[in-house]
């Protein structure tokens, strides 16, 4: 077991009764085959996510935005949760007080079996009628018509948070409360540059939590972390889990 990858004191923090929070970003789904937002494969028809995931882009060209979501929904539909997602499920079962917070909209955590999930940026398998505000699950893949319409004839949009939009207050407050009250936070596969999600590890650290980071590369959280492991989530998380369960 690669104990040398992790500091010796780590096991002191991962007790069964510890309050544990895991915060994930696109990196946790990368090994399932889902491109990250800011990686080399993050571009689509030369558009960046920031150019498509906005209310302005949707008003200007709902067809283009839905074509992008249709492409992403098709990819996700063909993806399976990976050992990173699966380890997080094991952690939820093991720890008495556990909270998963994700920035991902792909729904892979729930598909893996995670139950206690705060989806900060929404879920792209849910949609919202732009006229009536009605929210409902919409699993059609590939889309039969682009853009898809509500029964009332109005446009529907993915029920996700777009750039320039305020995040719904309820999940954000729940995430901040969990961060302030946790003993350990594990931050996995996020570039840490999108606010307000990027505040979450800082809040945890300020309130005395032990901070573990798992990422392919250094991020703004790396200097703050008590333990930073460079590597793939689908490999490092199972290693971390082996240390936790064997203690």
Q: Is 31 in the site for ligand OAD (CB under 6 A)?
A: yes
Neighbours of 197 (CB within 10 A): 21
Q: Draw the binding track, 81-120, toward ligand OAD (x: CB under 6 A; -: no contact).
A: ----------------------x-----------------
Phi, psi (rounded to 5 degrees) for 143:
-65, 140
Which residue lies nearer to ligand OAD by CB, 97 or 243?
243
Residue for token digits 């793939």? 232
Is residue 30 a contact residue for ligand OAD (CB under 6 A)? yes
Residue pair 14/20 in contact (Cβ under 8 Å)? The answer is yes
> Among all chains, which residue has been given the structure tokens 């789904």?
29
Q: Is-catalytic flag, 85?
A: no
Can you name the residues that pair with 215 across neighbouring β-strands? 230
- Min dist CB 214 to ligand OAD, Å, is 6
Encode 109-121 in three state secondary structure. HHHHCCCCEEECC
Mapped onto helix, strand or coil, the DSSP state of residue 218 is coil
Asked whether position 58 contacts ligand OAD by CB under 6 A, the answer is: no
Which lies closer to ligand OAD via its Cβ, residue 37 or residue 210? 37
Rounded-to-integer distance, Cα 197 and Cα 233, Å: 19
Structural contact between residues 65 and 20, judged by C-beta atoms closer than 8 angstroms:
no
Q: Which residue from 191, 212, 239, 240 is in contact with ligand OAD, where contact means CB under 6 A?
A: 191
Q: Could you tell me which stretch among 61-69, 111-119, 144-152, 186-194 binds ligand OAD (CB under 6 A)?
A: 186-194
- 37 binds ligand OAD per the rule CB under 6 A: yes
Q: Which residues make Cβ contacts (< 8 Å) with residue 8, sequence separation at least 6?
A: none
Residue 123 makes contact with ligand OAD by CB under 6 A: no
Count of residues of this chain found to bind ligand OAD when the rule CB under 6 A is applied: 26
Positions touching ligand OAD (CB under 6 A) are: 25-27, 30-31, 36-39, 49, 53, 103, 121, 160-161, 189-191, 194, 214-217, 219, 232-233
């Amino acid at each position: 077991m690669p104990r040398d990858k992790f500091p010796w004191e780590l096991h002191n923090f991962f007790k069964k009764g510890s309050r544990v929070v895991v915060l994930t970003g696109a990196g946790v789904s990368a090994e399932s085959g889902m491109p990250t937002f800011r990686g080399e494969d993050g571009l689509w028809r030369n558009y960046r996510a920031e150019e498509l995931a906005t209310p302005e882009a949707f008003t200007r060209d709902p067809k283009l935005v839905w074509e992008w979501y249709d492409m992403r929904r098709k990819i996700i539909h063909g993806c399976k949760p990976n050992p990173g997602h699966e380890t997080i499920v094991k952690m939820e079962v093991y720890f008495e007080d556990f909270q998963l917070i994700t920035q991902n909209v792909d729904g892979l955590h729930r598909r893996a079996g995670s139950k206690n999930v705060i989806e900060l940026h929404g879920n792209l398998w849910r949609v919202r009628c732009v006229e009536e505000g009605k929210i409902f699950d919409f699993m059609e893949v590939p889309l039969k018509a682009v853009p898809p319409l509500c029964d009332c004839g109005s446009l529907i949009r993915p029920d996700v948070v777009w750039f320039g939009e305020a995040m719904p207050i309820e999940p954000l407050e729940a995430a901040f409360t969990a961060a302030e009250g946790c003993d350990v936070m594990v931050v996995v596969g996020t570039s840490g540059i999108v606010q307000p999600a990027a505040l979450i590890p800082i809040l945890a650290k300020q309130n005395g939590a032990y901070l573990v980071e798992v990422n392919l590369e250094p991020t703004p959280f790396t200097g703050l972390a008590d333990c930073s492991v460079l590597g793939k989530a689908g490999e490092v998380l199972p290693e971390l889990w082996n240390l936790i369960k064997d203690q």
